[in-house]
Chain A
Amino acid sequence: MTCQEVNEYLDRTSPADMSGLPEVVRKHLDNCECCQRLWGLLSRRPCPRQVPEPVRSRIEQDVLGSLEPVKPLPEPGKLTLAFALVFGGFSALFAVLMASSDAPGVSTASFAAFAGVIGVIALWLSVTLSREMVPGEIWRLSRIATHAVAVVGLFGAMALVFPWRIDEPFVQEAWKCYKAGFVLALPAAVLAVLLLRRGVLFSPRFACAGAGFLGGLVGTFSLHFSCPTIGAAHITVGHLMVPVTGAVIGFAAGHLASARWSAENVPGPAVSS
């Protein structure tokens, strides 16, 4: 048995209680001075820190003084559904209102696939945003990786579906779509932020970036149904930059909110980063 293998037991065992340890681990500890010292150090758990009575009284005063029943947040599935409905509701409405009667320039399958990818990414973000609201939730990926998956998925799908070309006039058409997409994104982004505020945001920057991205996807989805231009350059700048801008603005807004709360030394809602 190696010291690295002993680490696995150290993870899951209280060093102060060796009764459940396999014989092979005990033997290693008997023979390895290094692990013996480490095991000894970590078994010396600092003495329980009793909270002084005046401190405990003040805490109880704070807690019991304003004690009222509260309604717990809904289950994770319902929160995810709420964010998904924000995306779905606005996207469906705008897509129907703005749908072009012209046939899409790509195959029906590609058209549907890209719409599907946008929907899946929106669902991915909905799950992420519902997790942002609750302390102690499980995160299998870091926040940065979670958002990176959304961006890579969107741009990757675009690269696969749309032909690489620049349609003229490029700047005017791209700007027209970008402006329209941005306006369409706003109500969904704002609603997503209002939903987020029901929870506790430990990472307001990433949470608001996610809300901005989700709102931006509404714009992208609506433009997908209304814009006849299919060149990848136009899609990238005119359509996909909408959620990217939403994420950047959301991140900045989250940063400002976090800085303001820190400056005011406000104890809650618990926000940082």
Chain B
Amino acid sequence: MRTAQADSDELQRLMSGYQQADREAAAKLVERVSPMLLRFLAGPLQTRAYAEDMLQECWLRIHRSRHTYRPGTPVLPWFFAIARYTRIDAYRRRRQIDANELAVEDLSTSGAGQSALPDAADTDLWRLVGQLPPSQQEVIQMLKVTGLSLEEVARATGSSVGSVKQKAHRAYQKLRELLNLDSAARKNA
């Protein structure tokens, strides 16, 4: 069974190959990392199409920024830092568009309020995580959905491990409360 360290070493090797214009390494990197990025970008309120658009934009940014990756350093925090800001920028642009235009033809494809999750287990998780404040949502997504470590999340979000832990613990507390409310509502139903 591959260990996390072996995976990390493999990604570092592929990333170095990508920087040296190794086409095979670049293609493998796209194949390995894209599902993780898509899982992160497809948050509680995103349609699949919107998440896929963000994924493409994210890879454009990754491609233009590839010279900033330092060989030998953890790869995933580098990718997720870029993915995170892709998401932030996309959200800001969409907010500006929504504020300035009433694009009726876009309403049916708007991400807001729609979820394109394929199964009930996802729906429960996203329904509850979607009720967390954005900063806690982000930490839970990276930590528990995408599977990054505390240190990787800290690097990706530009904060300290202590700050990430604090957000995560607040999120767990809030999720416990929501689960209790959920359970009580189902009993009363």
Given the known interface contacts A62-B59, A135-B82, the answer about A73 and B70 at a Cβ–Cβ threshold of 8 Å is yes
Q: Are B150 and A12 in contact (CB under 8 A)?
A: yes
Q: Are B179 and A51 in contact (CB under 8 A)?
A: no
Given the known interface contacts A59-B55, A138-B155, the answer about A48 and B31 at a Cβ–Cβ threshold of 8 Å is no
Counting chain A residues whose Cβ lies within 8 A of the other chain, the interface size class is: 35 or more
Q: In this assembly, does A268 line the interface, its C-beta being within 8 Å of a C-beta of chain B?
A: yes
A108 to B160, CA, bound (A): 40
Q: Are A73 and B147 in contact (CB under 8 A)?
A: no
Given the known interface contacts A67-B23, A135-B65, the answer about A56 and B81 at a Cβ–Cβ threshold of 8 Å is no
Q: In this assembly, does B110 line the interface, its C-beta being within 8 Å of a C-beta of chain A?
A: no
Chain B residues within an 8 Å CB radius of A44: 121-122, 124-125
Given the known interface contacts A34-B176, A41-B175, A64-B27, the answer about A136 and B74 at a Cβ–Cβ threshold of 8 Å is yes
Given the known interface contacts A45-B145, A49-B38, A59-B30, the answer about A269 and B23 at a Cβ–Cβ threshold of 8 Å is no
Report the minimum CB–CB distance from B111 to chain A (whole Å): 15
A134 to B57, CA, bound (A): 19
Report the minimum CB–CB distance from B58 to chain A (whole Å): 9
Q: Chain B at the A interface: mostly helix, strand, loop or mixed?
A: helix
Contact with B along A243-273 (1 / 0, CB 8 A): 0000000000000000000100101111111
Contact with B along A205-248 (1 / 0, CB 8 A): 00000000000000000000000000000000000000000000
Chain B residues within an 8 Å CB radius of A42: 125, 140, 144, 175
Instruction: Select which of A41, A68, A134 is within 8 A of B128 by beta carbon.
Output: A41
Report the minimum CB–CB distance from B36 to chain A (whole Å): 9
Kindly name the residue among A46, A64, A66 whose own CB sees the greatest number of chain B CB atoms within 10 A.
Answer: A46
Q: Are B147 and A14 in contact (CB under 8 A)?
A: yes
Q: In this assembly, does B112 line the interface, its C-beta being within 8 Å of a C-beta of chain A?
A: no
Q: Are B56 and A270 in contact (CB under 8 A)?
A: no
Interface-lining segment among A3-11, A152-160, A170-178: A3-11
Given the known interface contacts A137-B155, A138-B154, the answer about A267 and B124 at a Cβ–Cβ threshold of 8 Å is no
Chain B residues within an 8 Å CB radius of A7: 168-169, 172
Contact with A along B43-65 (1 / 0, CB 8 A): 00000000110011101110111
Chain B residues within an 8 Å CB radius of A143: 158
Top 5 A-B pairs, shortest CB-CB distance: A135-B81, A136-B77, A268-B64, A136-B78, A70-B67
